[in-house]
Amino acid sequence: MEIIGLVKTIFDIQVLKNGFKKREILFFTEEQYPQNLLIEFIQDKIKLLDALKIEDRIKIFINLKGRKWTTPNGSVKYFNSIQGWKIEKILNKKNISSSDGNEFDDFPF
């Protein structure tokens, strides 16, 4: 699955139990009803975020993860996360040079 949008915030690396590392970004999607999504990158994938800047337009390849958790009092809860695994930079629309409209002027008729 993939989504396109803008980088809004790049958070610091978090080191959790047993050296597990994750880093998150806040991502604003480009669609009819734009969404603010928190996307996590884990372990060796956190280095993908090093080259990003705020307002970069990117395509992120993601996996949706879900898990069940039982609270200490026995209640069952479910959690979802969005995990990124690949990033492609996309030129901002304002940076794309438009043609001058003369591309077909070489036709002999």
pLDDT of res. 37 = 97
pLDDT tens digit at each of 109 positions of the chain: 999 999 999 999 999 989 999 999 999 999 899 999 999 999 999 999 999 999 999 999 999 999 999 999 999 999 999 999 999 999 866 554 445 555 555 556 5
What domains can you pick out in the chain, each with its CATH number?
2-92 (2.40.50.140)
**Tokens found for residue 33:** 């009803």
pLDDT of res. 61 = 98
pLDDT of res. 12 = 97
Phi, psi at residue 94, to the nearest 5°?
A: -75, -20
* Closest to 7 (Cα-Cα) out of 49, 59, 60, 55: 55
Exposure class string for 43-57: b at 16+ Cβ within 10 A, else e: eebbebbeeeeeebb
pLDDT of res. 70 = 96
* Closest to 49 (Cα-Cα) out of 84, 3, 15: 84
**Tokens found for residue 7:** 């980088």
pLDDT of res. 103 = 52
DSSP state, 108?
-
pLDDT of res. 107 = 57
